[in-house]
Chains A and B, each alone.
Chain A
Amino acid sequence: MRIDLITSLFSAFSEPWWKIFYDFSILTRGVDEWLRNLMTPFWTVVIEMVIIGVVFLLLYAVIGLFLVYAERKVCAFLQNRLGPNRIGPYGIFQTIADLVKLLFKELIAIKNADRFLFNLAPYIVIIVNFMVISALPFGKGLHAIDFNIGIFYILAVSSMGIIGVLLAGWSSNNKYSLIGAMRSGAQIVSYELSIALSLITIVILAGTMQLSEIIEAQRSGWFIFKGHFSALIAFVIYLIAGTAETNRGPFDMAEAESELTAGYHTEYSGIKFAFFYLAEYINMFVVAAIASTMFLGGWMPFHVAGWEGFNNVMDYIPPFVWFFGKTFMVIWIIMLFKWTFPRLRIDQLLTLEWKYLLPINLVNVLIMAFLVLKGWHF
């Protein structure tokens, strides 16, 4: 009976197993068909949702831990240090050890804090994070949900994370936290504009908001190359605004260590602190992933129109490798920002947004619309 089940699972694949690296929908379709043969459609959906949930939980943890490790190594590299090197080869298990430590740490209850909001805040941040990464296309067919308004959904949801930050700052009953949260609020609300406008530039070029179609449109070349200088400007603005959106240096006003000790999460400890900490890194991943999807072609390999041989060679590298490669390259750039530049001041930060980035962006959107109208893009 059991052997039957497994063979029936394999028989659901109509193609060789290694093809799933290139098109993940083979696996998902196969599993779906297999489950549908076994049980009612209702239970199929339930089980599929559970599987996806577990996979995302794991992915979330793995990406978060890896990014923490990567950041420590990158910063050590820039600072002439070794970085973590004790636990495991090259210290790769350091972050896991840190996580275990954080799990076992005491959750300190703050006197006079708003207990309910204080406990709620980290969950809001985490939930928002999950909602965002569920809409990201990780590879061909490796896509939990493909909205027709994908990028709009991501923008809408990701800006909700600020509610968690504000709640954390407010409910901690700590003046530093409150200042940090307020700074963060002003910052994210402002930079949300720049992010949205620079992405709209690309949406105009692509003509759709569905992420899978945006990627498909980049088959003949990534938008950063196709979209003329306008896409390049949008990319630079997106990088700046994205760094600010994730509260990372040089825009880390919210937790400016030398001014506000730790900003909005000063009073958090143990696993609740770990939530904020992980969410921050996942945010960075999300920003980088959107950058790579919108500007650098997502999982689409590097194609040059007309060079068939070259394109075929590029196609041999699996899509998810392309996606993660591009994303980590963008993350690397964002990390370089943090470890080379000093911090801006809050008024300079807002000046940069409202006086420079926003007007440039608006003009840029117009130019892009004009380019698309005239068909002058590549």
Chain B
Amino acid sequence: MEENIKEIVVGEQEDYVINMGPQHPSTHGVLRLVVTLKGEIVKNVEPHIGYIHRGIEKMCESITYPQIIHLTDRMDYLSASINNESVCLAVEKALEVDIPDRIKVIRTIFSELTRIQSHQLFWASYGMDMGGQTCFFYGLRDRERILDIFEETTGGRMLISYNCPGGLMYDIHPNFQKRVKDFIKYFRKVLPEYDAILTGNVIFTSRTKGIGHLSLEDAISYGVTGPSGRASGFSCDVRKHEPYSAYDRVKFNEVLYTEGDTFHRYLARIEEMRESMNIIEQLIDNIPEGPYAVKMKPIIKLPEGEYFQRVETSRGELDTFVISDGNKNPYRIKFRTPCFVNLGVLNHITRDFKIADLIAIAGSLDLVIPDIDR
């Protein structure tokens, strides 16, 4: 870390440098931001990451594909199910396995449930970042219901590892459909409360509107994907452009705004919860009969070559790039994680705002630190 230390010491005399993190209430993990201030004005933000770098890509090189599934859970722990799906899809694409509809539909439902619970947690923690602590409990209260649904089917709550190459680990629980439908009914009723507490609040809007503006050109150039990018008008929804699983058979809108400020990044996530509920409603009654997994070889070996799979997690685009040399473990596996790329834009959009805005902007990017560090 010598280089880093030098970086801090050098600097103008009147600069006021503070370390936000690694332990700080609103960095949601061990992100460290070295913030240069002039009074309360942020002049430069330097993210220092790697506090929970576990070398997942290196670890993957020595384990088999079914084992990799369990490591991907630990990248973006809030969209664990979607991360699993990404590796499964890459493996299935490489082996040219034909996946039955039932599996595709169930995977899609799980992905969308994961997306909803992730955005619920975003809403909860964002409210807390902004100083409204009541939001946190409202958000977690509703998130519990989804986790309970997960638990019933998979036995896990957060890191469910439900997908596996060739299908699913187990079939869905008999109650699954009913409980999901109950949840949708409940959540449609509760979502207006979210708007009443935060979205419509004068203090909240005055703190977020016009703050941290990200233009469309910058969003594309910085590769900001997910709801953060779509708030700037960057149409980057992989579900639309390269549909995987059952996304080609459902109707949903890509939530797009043009303003690109903090408020619309927040709003994009709230609207995405509504879209996710639409997707689930279209699928939940039409889960086709069939096997829940395709019989795969006990040891999965990918043919030599390079395979690229894009999926849309709740934070943006996750790409799995596998280079195989024909062995049971990948020669090189690369995850293009959304948070890592989105973090790159933080310095650009926070400059010349206040410390309080820095928290608001960083919160609106919805960074998950294990996803950055891997």
Contact = CB atoms under 8 A, between A and B. Distances in A.
Chain A–chain B contact at Cβ < 8 A: yes
Interface of A: 75, 78-81, 175-176, 179, 183, 249-250, 252, 256-261, 339-348
Contacts of B203: 250, 341-344, 348
A342 B128 CA distance: 8
A176 B23 CA distance: 13
Q: How large is the interface on B (under 10, 10 to 19, 20 to 34, 35 or more residues)?
A: 20 to 34
B127 A342 contact: yes
Nearest to B207: A345
A75 B128 CA distance: 14
Contact of A256 (B137, B138, B198, B356): B356
B138 A348 contact: no
Contacts of A342: 127, 130-132, 198, 201, 203-204, 207
Contacts of B204: 342
Interface in B316-371: 354-357, 359
Interface string B185-198: 00000000000011
Nearest to B27: A258
Give 6 nearest A-B pairs by CB, closest first: A343-B131, A258-B26, A342-B130, A342-B132, A79-B137, A345-B356
B133 interface: yes
Given A80-B138, A257-B25, A340 B132 contact: yes
B24 interface: yes
Interface in B9-25: 16, 18, 24-25
B279 to A, nearest CB: 29
B132 A259 contact: no
A155 B207 CA distance: 31
B206 interface: yes
A176 B356 contact: no
A9 B138 CA distance: 58
B300 to A, nearest CB: 45
A344 B207 CA distance: 7
A343 B203 CA distance: 7
Contacts of B201: 341-342
B112 interface: no
B131 A175 contact: no
Contacts of B132: 340-343
Interface string B130-173: 11111011100100000000000000000000000000000000
A175 B355 CA distance: 13
Nearest to A183: B40
A81 B134 CA distance: 10
Interface in B101-141: 127-134, 136-138, 141
A79 B136 CA distance: 9
Contacts of A175: 16, 18
A78 B193 CA distance: 13
- Choose among A81, A252, A343 the residue with the greatest number of B CB atoms under 10 Å from its CB: A343
A80 B141 contact: yes
14 contacts: A79-B133, A79-B138, A81-B137, A250-B131, A258-B131, A339-B133, A340-B132, A340-B134, A341-B131, A342-B201, A343-B131, A343-B203, A343-B207, A346-B40
Contacts of A249: 131
Nearest to A178: B16
B134 A79 contact: yes
Nearest to B208: A342
